Amino acid sequence: MKTRRLVVAGVAAMALAGGAGTALAVGGLTPPAEAGAPDTGSRPVAAGQEAAGVHLPGRGPAAPNGPRVVRPYQAVEIGQGAKMGLLPEGRQNYVVAWDDYEDAVEQAKGLAGDNIRPDSISGGMGVDGDDVLFTGAFRTDTVPARITLRIGTGAEVEAGMLMLPGRPGWGTYYHDAGGAGSPRGTVEVTAYAQDGSVLAHLAYDPSPAIR
């Protein structure tokens, strides 16, 4: 039986591990506040290297798709049996749960704070054998038209995006890389504006956290 592991990376590593601000719930249990501490659920947690999400000049291809607008707490299936939901409480507060989604949301309602810097992206992965699920949050003044991931020397792939109604200034992204195997090399996440300019960029190497 495979064991899913959560690998955290990016500008909000502690936030993604359940600190005040962003909540990333695994299997319906909110991971501990300290990145790298063992989870109390059935899936252990490993912390990846932290990498700063920085605003970069430049342009790239962009399509005017934008995020899907969802209701607060709405469960959205994002692949591999996981559900993602965005919360209006706190800042950049969301859950990713493989089990007990409703319980994960209730736990996350008590989290608040702002652990993602302006014009930046956070990132993490759910790892289950050869199946990898990339997730994270963006915080930008301009709503991204698209977010892409590049894993190692591979081509850019499109990520799905979610956002609450109105202009909350943040949202989430996800990419189902089922069957692709554990990523090796640098993972790059880029948020593009509609005109192709880069809103935010994150690069991290998850290899040391994957056993």
What is the domain range of residue 146?
Answer: 5-209
Q: What are phi and psi of 2, to 5 degrees?
A: -70, 150
Please report which residue ranges of 94-192 form alpha helices under DSSP H. Answer: 101-108
- Split at pLDDT 50, 70, 90, the class of 29 is very low
127, 4 Cβ separation under 8 angstroms: yes
Whole-number pLDDT of residue 55: 35
- Which has more pLDDT, 65 or 61? 65
Share above pLDDT 90 across residues of the chain, in percent, rounded to a whole number: 53
The number of folded domains in the chain is: 1
Whole-number pLDDT of residue 63: 54
**pTM listed for this prediction:** 0.74
- Split at pLDDT 50, 70, 90, the class of 47 is very low
